[in-house]
């Protein structure tokens, strides 16, 4: 779940295997640096009237117990993403 977005914002959810670590600074996000080393998009959700965006996802069955996965959400705003905002990254350890 991502909160504090503006209603109607398109929230992009990202995931990366491993711990939170400095990542790329994509031009599409105005050079905003991500906190995921090799992020990939796991979904896009439009924020509701309260500014919340919820994404439900299922991890692949081969995801190993004890492995770390990190998540981050971003909203690209402004010309060429110059006003992009991002969430704090979240790291979880898989337990089963």
Q: Where are the beta strands (DSSP E) in 1-96?
A: 10-17, 40-46, 68-75, 85-86, 90-93
Per-domain residue ranges of the chain: 10-93
* DSSP letter (8 states) at residue 7: T
Q: Residues 92, 95, 96, CA angle at the centre, nearest 5°?
A: 145
Summarised one tens digit per residue, pLDDT across range 46-72 is: 999 999 999 998 888 888 999 999 999
When the pLDDT of each residue in the chain is averaged and rounded to a whole number, the result is: 95
- In percent, the amount of the chain with pLDDT more than 70 equals 100
């Amino acid at each position: 779940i991502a909160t504090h977005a503006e209603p109607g914002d398109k929230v992009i959810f990202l995931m990366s295997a491993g711990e939170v670590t400095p990542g790329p600074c994509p031009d599409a996000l105005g050079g905003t640096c991500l906190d995921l080393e090799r992020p990939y998009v796991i979904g896009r959700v439009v924020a509701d009237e309260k500014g919340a965006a919820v994404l439900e996802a299922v991890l692949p069955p081969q995801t190993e117990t004890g492995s770390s996965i990190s998540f981050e959400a971003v909203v690209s705003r402004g010309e060429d993403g110059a006003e992009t905002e991002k969430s704090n990254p979240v790291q979880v350890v898989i337990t089963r």
